[in-house]
Structure 1
Amino acid sequence: MAKPTTASDRTSSRLWFGLSLGFALYYGSLALQKSFQAEYVVQDDAREYVFWMQRFLDPTLLPNDLIAQYFKSITPPGYAAFYHGMAILGVQPLWVSKVLPVGLGLITTFYSFALCLRLFPFPITGFITTLLLNQSVWSRDDLGSATPRAFVTPLFLAFLYYLLRHQRLGILIVLVLQALIYPPLVFITIALLCCTLWDGNTRRLNFNQLKFVGICVGFTAIALLPYGLASSQFAPVITRDQAWTMPELHPGGRHPFFNPNPWAFWLIGEHSGIIPPLMPPLIWLGVLLPILMRYPVRFPLVQQINHRIAILPKMIWVSLGLFAAAHLLLLRLFFPTRYTTHTFRIVLAIAAGIVLTILLDTLLRGCKTLVAQRRWITLGTRLTLMTMTMLVFFTYPQVSQDFPRINVRVIKDPSLYQFLKTQPKDTLVATLSDEANNISTLAQRSVLFSKEHSLPFHLGYYRPIRQRILDVMQAQYSSDLRAAKQTIDKYQIKLWLLDQPAFTPLYLTNSTWLSSFEPEFTIALTNLQQGKIPALTKLTHCSVFNTPQLMLLDAACIKTAAEG
């Protein structure tokens, strides 16, 4: 496989780039099929970041809503501004969240293909890399979430592209976008910029580059300021010592981080582990690149690798350094895996693309020799190996039932949300049901709390949320209706939603996240196991909506019953 001539280079690049875009669109279309498979479909994390943005179209929605105010405060301003701009055009935020990943996938494909050509001048390598990278980003729900982290891969690839081309304006613009859309990414890019300060040829500090890095730091600091001020509204952030004592951050809690198994914690933990669960399997061939580069005679194509390839190990070292810092400064820099998962994916995809190209070239060279020597059995073995590799390469998504992974929630019975939409916009619903996760998004009505929105990171937010959960749990399982009346008056609750099996011990034991809220959880479970009947079970006449799974009680009726 020889390096393409100048005359054929454009045609070859266009062909492989077109194929790359074609696969990106194909994977995106599969995601769209899942997102629009029914009328009531919502992506899991969109229930946190996108639900409150419906107020861009109707400012009267979710009035005085603590949850909406909190998630607005932790939403990066650039990300919110994009959705706001679409809302000005009359486009629903939830609709935007479903189609946005397709556009981000195309941007990822463009920059990854262009970046590969800067490192290894073979368009087929760009195709292999972009295909592996697209399969990888669609194997997790990062891209499909359309949340701020969905922008990480395209923004980081854009930064690398402009960095290798020494286009300072492009670097500066991308850095500002990173600060406005996904702030943790700024630490990686600034660190990589700092790696360019040392001139390896003169062995001196590059003062011209130092000045540019200083400008970049200044602009990104200004861009980060609005986010820092908004999120400080619910300060303080929990410390490591506080996090360790919180059951919410241990197995079974709302957001498990710690794990008693040190191997699981440090290696494969979802938020703490150093080894990201990257797919497809072929992407891990990237670890062979340093080995192949040691044998340029045996693998001649190695000599075509550009010296800019040094950016890959720099990315690894920077990511590992920030991974360690994030563990030391737990939650001050967010979760440690945020600094390794995305960068390792990019490094491995690029390295695997180069490795597969080199191995394919070596294999084809060997096949020519075997044909000349008429060694047909050995030739057949090599061709079989190549065919099997290509089959794995192209068919992996088809054999994975969860590909592309966008983690959507499909609502089969939307009657509850349809009913709640008919209620006044200031309606506040109290419930321990998992339906609370969807009400703010699909019914556009406020909930007192929900599992999905109970993030235990900012104490200014989580303390009142935790108290709300304790109050509702105590009132729901009390044999005295006055407890429910006090909770209704305290929070101005309008409706109380119950799962039909809510008053069985099994219901509580299956709701593992509620076990973090002691002593009310144990008291409620013990009372149910002892056969004590909660007062709310006697108020079926207060029901305003029923399904075989749910019962919705009128809070005013509950108060009247308590007073009577």
Structure 2
Amino acid sequence: MIKEGVEKISDGKTLLVHKALYALVLALSLGTAIYSNYPAFQSEYIRTDDDRANIFWFHRLLDPELLKDDLLTDYAVFYEATGTKYLYTLAAYFVNPFLLAKIIPILFYAVAGAALYKMGRAIHGPWCGFILAFTFICYPGHLEYFNCGYSRIFAYPGLVLFLYFLTARQTKHLIWLIPLLSLFYPVAFLICAVAYFLWAVLRTTIARINVEPKKIILHFLAPMIISACFILPKYALPDQRYGRLLTYEETVRNSGAYKNGRNEILPRVPVYKKAIGALNEPFIILSFLVIFFFLGRESLKIPMEFWLFIVSGLLLYELAYYFLLHLYFPYKYFRYTFPMAVFFVISLGFGRIVERIPSLWGKILSLVLLIGVSHYFHGDAIKPAAGMRDYGDEAPLYEYLKTLPKDSLIAAPPYLADGIPLFSARKVLFNFELASPWFTKYHEMIRERTEDFFFAYYSDRVEDIAGFVKKYGVDYIIVDSKLFRYLNRDRFYIDPYNDFIKKQAAGEKKFFLRENLDRLAQYRFDRYYVIDTARLLKDGGGRN
């Protein structure tokens, strides 16, 4: 739904306002993104949690001898979106992929801001465009999803561009955008595909527009066929190395899908509760009250495309519970549609109000007021390293592990092992980040490795540890002495492993590793002890 005459800027004053607001949007977008991301350029240890699972395989691009023949690295590459995988693989010939992963979020934030400005301007004018972009830029829920360089970074820019092209009826651009989303972030692709299908049906039947129905159908079918060619080879056929996805019944029985598991996706949360939770924010409630006060019934006059976008997300949210795992995690579809659409509706409402103010200074003062209120509610969320953590506390340990042979296999407690592939570029037997239990064979391998590790860790017999070392070819074991304290606690690790570990740690055992830490360790940092397994085997562990 485009406001007639807005897209074509006729007079010089309006053109000047447009240029000034557009420049301000770009400056705010880049400034916010740089401000939020610059700590990551200062330290390699400032990262998002998911970086440890999604980009560590870049080391292999820089040096093929690193992380070679490694189950976890191969799995991380396997589940990465096809487009992201090949983007970094090709880019590695020209630029360090770790550096590129820090630059892309900044550029994409500017792309999202620019597209939102253009969409708002096309609907209600330049002031509306500015408010739409500003609200998105400063809303803290989005920043976290731009502070990364892997697949999800493509979600918001892609969805924003989709809404802009669809609302502006520039569907020819969807012929390339939708296939790109299928390559880089399939969740966003599905959201767009469903919304686009509903739009095409309505625009060729009930809500027809001045566009040939054949053209609408062609512009819809072309990207869908191309996307199917991209998606089907990866997701329709299981990879024999990792097995098939769990069935619905298997997922429901899997404790890893519930609270205290690796990914809490069950039990099902009714969509109305998700919606209430998203709307139950002071800024949102206040905004709707103000908009309704000034606009009345016109508050709900928003582009049909926005409603279809919301419907698409909610529909896929429900379907994802019926096709568990096969449509990925249900909450993703809600997260990327409903909250974003709510802020779009709020922005368009404020945009209409500002556009009605006759004087330029009145418009400027209203924007200043809106910016002040937004800062009051959300300003503290715009900060350096939003959504990131500083893992520098363990830096001496990671730096030492870098000195170990490149083909070393390290067995370490899972939470500590999360950072080793990324920060030290060394293989680990298993970790928490890559413990998702959704593929049958992969889950069995990770489960066996996890239970074998903790069986040896809490054993009082050196033979058990030696057997574990020989079974997997482990070169180094890292012991966290903290894990030998408070052995009567209820939680040791995630389900389905917790009960096994709790049982193994019970009793008054003289755990071999705990009793021999100082004698066996070749390096110690704080509570962490690095043990060379060759020395352990020589110490008598080879006895059967």
Q: TM-score range by the shorter chain?
A: 0.7 to 0.9
> Given that residues 478 and 534 in structure 1 are in contact (C-alpha distance below 8 angstroms), is that contact kept between their aligned partners in structure 2?
yes
Amino acid at match of 2:527: Q
Among 492, 512, 537, the alignment partner of 1:535 is 512
SS at match of 1:502: helix
For 1:401 and 1:390, locate their aligned partners in 2 and report how far apart those are by CA, in whole Å.
13
Q: How far does residue 483 in structure 1 lie from its aligned partner after superposition?
A: 1.2
> Given that residues 76 and 181 in structure 1 are in contact (C-alpha distance below 8 angstroms), is that contact kept between their aligned partners in structure 2?
yes
For 1:5 and 1:191, locate their aligned partners in 2 and report how far apart those are by CA, in whole Å.
37
Q: How far does residue 281 in structure 1 lie from its aligned partner after superposition?
A: 5.3
- The alignment-based identity, stated in percent, is 20
Deviates more, 1:245-254 or 1:222-231: 222-231
Partner of 2:55: 50
User: How do 1:274-313 and structure 2 match up within 5 A?
Assistant: 274=275, 277=278, 282=283, 295=297, 309-313=303-307
SS at match of 1:422: coil
Could you report, residue by residue, the CA deviation over 1:116-140 in whole angstroms, capped at 9, with x for unpaired residues?
A: 12222x2111111111111236555
User: How do 1:264-343 and structure 2 match up within 5 A?
Assistant: 265-266=269-270, 273-274=274-275, 277=278, 282=283, 295=297, 309-343=303-337
In structure 1, list runs of 5 or more residues that go unmatched: 369-382
Partner of 1:241: 249
Structure 1 pair 385–161 and aligned structure 2 pair: CA distance change class (3 A): closer
Partner of 1:524: 504
Amino acid at match of 1:109: G
Partner of 1:33: 38
Deviates more, 1:491-500 or 1:10-19: 10-19
Among 190, 193, 207, the alignment partner of 1:187 is 190
Partner of 1:11: 16
Q: How far does residue 219 in structure 1 lie from its aligned partner after superposition?
A: 0.5
Partner of 1:511: 492
Structure 1 pair 158–502 and aligned structure 2 pair: CA distance change class (3 A): same
Normalised by the length of structure 1, the TM-score is 0.84
Q: How far does residue 70 in structure 1 lie from its aligned partner after superposition?
A: 0.7
Among 167, 175, 179, the alignment partner of 1:164 is 167
Partner of 1:423: 404
SS at match of 2:415: coil
Could you report, residue by residue, the CA deviation over 1:429-460 in whole angstroms, capped at 9, with x for unpaired residues?
A: 11225220100001000000011111112222
Structure 1 pair 188–256 and aligned structure 2 pair: CA distance change class (3 A): closer
Structure 1 pair 285–76 and aligned structure 2 pair: CA distance change class (3 A): farther
> Given that residues 114 and 126 in structure 1 are in contact (C-alpha distance below 8 angstroms), is that contact kept between their aligned partners in structure 2?
yes
Q: How far does residue 546 in structure 1 lie from its aligned partner after superposition?
A: 0.4
Alpha-carbon RMSD: 3.3
Amino acid at match of 2:346: A
Amino acid at match of 1:31: S
Amino acid at match of 1:214: L
Amino acid at match of 2:48: Q
SS at match of 2:316: helix
Deviates more, 1:466-475 or 1:7-16: 7-16
User: How do 1:360-399 and structure 2 match up within 5 A?
Assistant: 360=354, 389-399=370-380
Structure 1 pair 291–160 and aligned structure 2 pair: CA distance change class (3 A): farther
User: How do 1:250-269 and structure 2 match up within 5 A?
Assistant: 250-259=258-267, 265-266=269-270
Q: How far does residue 248 in structure 1 lie from its aligned partner after superposition?
A: 2.0
Count how many residue pairs are aligned between Structure 1 and Structure 2: 527
Partner of 1:373: none
1:134 aligns with 2:134: no
SS at match of 2:419: helix
Partner of 2:541: 562
Among 536, 549, 562, the alignment partner of 2:527 is 549
1:479 aligns with 2:460: yes
For 1:107 and 1:539, locate their aligned partners in 2 and report how far apart those are by CA, in whole Å.
56
> Given that residues 430 and 450 in structure 2 are in contact (C-alpha distance below 8 angstroms), is that contact kept between their aligned partners in structure 1?
yes
Partner of 2:109: 105
Partner of 1:351: 345
Structure 1 pair 136–403 and aligned structure 2 pair: CA distance change class (3 A): farther
> Given that residues 306 and 341 in structure 2 are in contact (C-alpha distance below 8 angstroms), is that contact kept between their aligned partners in structure 1?
yes
Deviates more, 1:418-427 or 1:345-354: 345-354
Normalised by the length of structure 2, the TM-score is 0.87
Deviates more, 1:237-246 or 1:394-403: 394-403
Q: How far does residue 523 in structure 1 lie from its aligned partner after superposition?
A: 1.8
Partner of 2:177: 174
Structure 1 pair 349–403 and aligned structure 2 pair: CA distance change class (3 A): farther
Could you report, residue by residue, the CA deviation over 1:398-439 in whole angstroms, capped at 9, with x for unpaired residues?
A: 333767623233312412111111111110011225220100
Structure 1 pair 246–205 and aligned structure 2 pair: CA distance change class (3 A): farther
For 1:154 and 1:436, locate their aligned partners in 2 and report how far apart those are by CA, in whole Å.
33
Structure 1 pair 388–113 and aligned structure 2 pair: CA distance change class (3 A): closer
> Given that residues 77 and 226 in structure 1 are in contact (C-alpha distance below 8 angstroms), is that contact kept between their aligned partners in structure 2?
no
Q: How far does residue 384 in structure 1 lie from its aligned partner after superposition?
A: 11
Partner of 1:414: 395
For 1:412 and 1:164, locate their aligned partners in 2 and report how far apart those are by CA, in whole Å.
48
For 1:325 and 1:147, locate their aligned partners in 2 and report how far apart those are by CA, in whole Å.
26
> Given that residues 500 and 548 in structure 1 are in contact (C-alpha distance below 8 angstroms), is that contact kept between their aligned partners in structure 2?
no
Amino acid at match of 1:118: A
Structure 1 pair 226–361 and aligned structure 2 pair: CA distance change class (3 A): same
For 2:168 and 2:437, locate their aligned partners in 1 and report how far apart those are by CA, in whole Å.
42
For 1:401 and 1:124, locate their aligned partners in 2 and report how far apart those are by CA, in whole Å.
23
For 2:229 and 2:296, locate their aligned partners in 1 and report how far apart those are by CA, in whole Å.
45
1:448 aligns with 2:453: no
> Given that residues 284 and 348 in structure 1 are in contact (C-alpha distance below 8 angstroms), is that contact kept between their aligned partners in structure 2?
no
Partner of 1:206: 213
> Given that residues 282 and 352 in structure 1 are in contact (C-alpha distance below 8 angstroms), is that contact kept between their aligned partners in structure 2?
no
Deviates more, 1:64-73 or 1:430-439: 430-439
Amino acid at match of 2:73: A
Structure 1 pair 535–228 and aligned structure 2 pair: CA distance change class (3 A): same
User: How do 1:456-467 and structure 2 match up within 5 A?
Assistant: 456-467=437-448
Partner of 1:115: 119
> Given that residues 178 and 227 in structure 2 are in contact (C-alpha distance below 8 angstroms), is that contact kept between their aligned partners in structure 1?
yes
> Given that residues 417 and 428 in structure 2 are in contact (C-alpha distance below 8 angstroms), is that contact kept between their aligned partners in structure 1?
yes
1:221 aligns with 2:201: no
